[in-house]
A and B are shown apart, each in its own frame.
Chain A
């Protein structure tokens, strides 16, 4: 960033911090980096949000290095010697009914959790963004029709509908992702539309219109980028819900199929032994809890940092 400072013609004697929090940015780059820095300052002073961020980063790292980190194979256990062992120094979280090390399975399962969350976000957020911005910018009949559809989907019970979708499509992690994505885009459309309505009134949109930009160009290049921030905040807040729904589907046997180490499915398996071997179900549930708590903390922090109106 020091390189940026010199490139943008820094005033002599100006520290990096001064450059960042300057009231009069001399370039677009400086303005946006400065804004990001200020948001980060607000965010990082929130200890709980930082904790959430640390856990989420930890989850990503664990998922990347899962193969290096897991001490045993997550798929193959020794039925003869290591079946249903309680937690011990050799198996921190114990072993399951197939003699598999639960810690290793949880580590591998982080990949599935991350896969679900990222895929749902990639599928649902753009749909919501597109519907919301188009509705907000066009107004009139298109707006009314799109928002009516959004409201209908918003009034639906999400879990039950996801259940019905998966029942029809057949169980499996991909179908679970699809079902969750189909039921989770409406809030993003609402947010994007609200943002679009305010942006539409601004002078620079009028200027772009005068230059002769097509509506598509205006929506895609000038409105959508500005809606992304608030949609991202909302997606982060929804991550916990997505994880819980996916785990619920897995628990009901409709998500990831055995022997995949999906956390919800692991709880369903541990349920059979829960009265005597409680650790089989306890550890994966705790993992789900920690990760969704982290996403909630992170989302709260992001909202407070990026949207001062909601910081009350």
Chain B
């Protein structure tokens, strides 16, 4: 009976948290749409003038204004805008003359591939470094890892990318240059997932796979370093927190080996907040790839957005902003939710 009651309370709490989460997510997305609507409709030059030019007669201007729905009240325009965006209709790109959504679908896999490998590198190296720094707190290793992190926080990523290209591509020839893959392979491949590593591996084209990897490794390492700086710092502070707990003392008294205490006990508890940190870094990388993609001519969403920016292609810019923003917000809020679900302490409170 009592266990059933506790289960009910727990279920109620979970559904409460979920309800609040849904409200927050709805409000935040509405906020994102409101901001992009505001940017697209209210600030810039008159969209009617952009279409008909400033010499058009009065009645043409009035007709186009009506066609664009600009004579309707602002809230109605916003409503139309939201319903269009929800259907995936961002309008047409002036630059490519494709629907923006189609362009985004084409460019997004490149960004996804880059950011995913980046976060794998960042978390794969950042977490062990953070653990090491915490265990050797105050020693030389800790200082060095701190400096490595600080440099990652402070260096302009686009500059580091340029310098890395000069050194590793132009001088040493260790990696492939800008772009995703050499032109030789570009048209022999049928895109299935759009992720080149997966596509080439599926087709068994190992030469192309190696080539794609050689192009990917440098920008992904840079993004990974960016993530590593944050992840290692947070890992260190979470681990210090755990290592000061009483259960660590108890484990030591029990005679467990130090490595078992660190990796099996302390890190497992630190993992809960770490998951949220890694999710946040992943969101940051998706956004941070804008600059990296520009440097490496990486044909992803970031490059698409900056190219559109330079051509004042507002539909494309706002469409890209909404997509990146949505993913960013989604990961952001998901990490909040994960935290409450994974950490038993937040449940009992």
Contacts and interface: CB of A to CB of B under 8 A. Distances in A.
Nearest to A300: B150
Given A164-B318, A267-B162, A289-B154, A157 B291 contact: no
Contact of B162 (A148, A157, A271): A271
A156 B36 CA distance: 11
B94 interface: no
Contact of B35 (A161, A285, A292): A161
B321 interface: yes
Interface string B293-337: 011000000000110011010100110110011001100110000
Given A160-B287, A160-B321, A164-B39, A267 B333 contact: no
Nearest to B284: A157
B170 interface: yes
Nearest to A248: B291
Interface string B220-240: 000000000000000001001
A157 B324 contact: yes
Interface in B207-249: 237, 240
Contacts of B325: 156-157, 160-161
Contacts of A297: 150
Contacts of A251: 156, 158, 291, 294
Nearest to A252: B306
Contact of A253 (B40, B290, B310): B310
User: Which among A160, A244, A288 has the greatest number of chain B C-beta atoms within 10 A?
Assistant: A160
Contacts of A163: 290, 305-306, 309, 317, 321
A1 interface: no
A281 B162 contact: yes
A229 B325 CA distance: 32
B39 A165 contact: yes
Contacts of A278: 163, 166
A293 interface: yes
Nearest to A284: B159
Most chain A C-beta atoms within 10 Å of own C-beta, residue among B155, B295, B317:
B155
A156 B158 contact: no
Interface in A255-305: 264, 267, 270-271, 274-275, 278, 281-282, 284-285, 288-289, 292-293, 295-297
Contact of A156 (B162, B166, B317, B328): B328
Contacts of A165: 39
A240 interface: yes
B132 interface: no
B116 interface: no
Instruction: Specify the main secondary structure of chain A where it touches its partner.
Output: helix
Interface string B42-64: 01100000000000000000000
A288 B314 CA distance: 30
A210 interface: no
B150 A160 contact: no
Interface in B166-185: 166, 170
A169 B287 contact: no
A264 B157 CA distance: 11
Main secondary structure, interface of B, reads helix
B305 to A, nearest CB: 7
Contacts of B170: 275
Nearest to B294: A252
Interface stretch (B9-17, B26-34, B72-80, B100-108): B26-34
A267 to B, nearest CB: 5
A168 B39 contact: yes
Contacts of A155: 28, 328-329, 332-333
Nearest to A264: B156
B159 A156 contact: no
B165 interface: yes
A293 B36 CA distance: 33
Nearest to B332: A155
Contacts of B295: 271
A284 B156 CA distance: 10
B215 to A, nearest CB: 17
Contacts of B31: 149, 152-153, 156
B319 to A, nearest CB: 11
A164 B308 CA distance: 11
A208 interface: no
A37 B22 CA distance: 49
A231 to B, nearest CB: 20
Contacts of B306: 163, 252
B244 to A, nearest CB: 9
A293 B24 CA distance: 36
B134 to A, nearest CB: 11
A240 B310 contact: no
B131 interface: no
A238 B77 CA distance: 37
B305 A160 contact: yes
A285 B290 contact: no
Given A151-B24, A163-B306, A275-B170, 12 more contacts: A152-B28, A159-B288, A159-B290, A161-B321, A163-B321, A165-B39, A168-B44, A248-B156, A285-B159, A288-B159, A289-B155, A296-B150
18 contacts: A158-B287, A167-B309, A168-B44, A169-B43, A240-B153, A240-B154, A244-B154, A244-B157, A247-B156, A251-B294, A252-B294, A267-B156, A285-B163, A289-B154, A289-B159, A292-B154, A293-B155, A297-B150
